[in-house]
Amino acid sequence: MTSIHVNWGKSNVKLTWKQDYVAPRELVTSVHGFCFSDEKLLLVDLNQRGWDIPGGHIEPHETPEECFHREVIEEGYVEGINSLLGSVEIDHHENPAWDDNSPYPIIGYQMFYRMDITTFHDFEGRHEASRRKLINPIDIGKYYQGVSVIHREILAYAVQMGSKILLNERKG
């Protein structure tokens, strides 16, 4: 379990990676994931933010997995098979900007998935992303400026999980 402190605008928050942890649905604020095709990682070029992994805020009627599915289609125009990686706990206890009127809970979660892409749809760029690209996961820092120690740990777990999936497919 890795923890770091980050500044998000005026907010100082503590992030803690919890591998394989399923967060309570009512505390999940967003869902993100690492999508793979032939061991290459999908990145999307988000308007105003640059290269990133697919993901976004959860809607009131969605499960985390439904949110991830929707975000991946909207941003990357891909579909696939999802596997839970875990959750990042976002702790605002040390955040002087947080109060009872804040849009996020004092402790919330971002859930993370691994997707093995099965379908590439024509890229239309109608939503937040203007492009998509497959890269070697090792090169994520060259494109995704927001990659943190925690993101790297989650990505390493996603890659490891993919290696196990490939090994099992070859055995079967």
**Nearest Cα to Cα of residue 41 among 49, 50, 33:** 33
Q: What is the pTM of this model?
A: 0.92
Segment 131-167, tens digit of pLDDT: 999 999 999 999 998 889 999 999 999 999 986 654 4
Query: Would you say residue 69 has pLDDT above 90?
Result: yes
Q: Are 94 and 20 in contact (CB under 8 A)?
A: no
Q: What is the pLDDT of residue 9?
A: 80
Query: What six digits make up the tokens of 9?
Result: 């605008």
Segment 27-62, tens digit of pLDDT: 999 999 999 999 999 999 999 889 999 999 999 999
Q: What is the pLDDT of residue 164?
A: 64
Question: In the predicted model, what is the mean pLDDT of residues 94-98?
Answer: 91
Q: What is the pLDDT of residue 11?
A: 83
Question: In the predicted model, what is the mean pLDDT of residues 107-125?
Answer: 97
Q: Return the beta strands (E) in 20-170 as ranges.
A: 28-37, 40-46, 50-52, 55-57, 78-91, 107-120, 129-135
Q: Which domains does the chain have, with CATH numbers?
A: 3-171 (3.90.79.10)
Q: What is the pLDDT of residue 163?
A: 67
Question: In the predicted model, what is the mean pLDDT of residues 82-107?
Answer: 94
Q: Are 148 and 141 in contact (CB under 8 A)?
A: no
Task: Judge residue 160's burial from the number of C-beta atoms within 10 Å of its C-beta, 0-12 exposed, 13-18 middle, 19 or more buried.
Answer: exposed
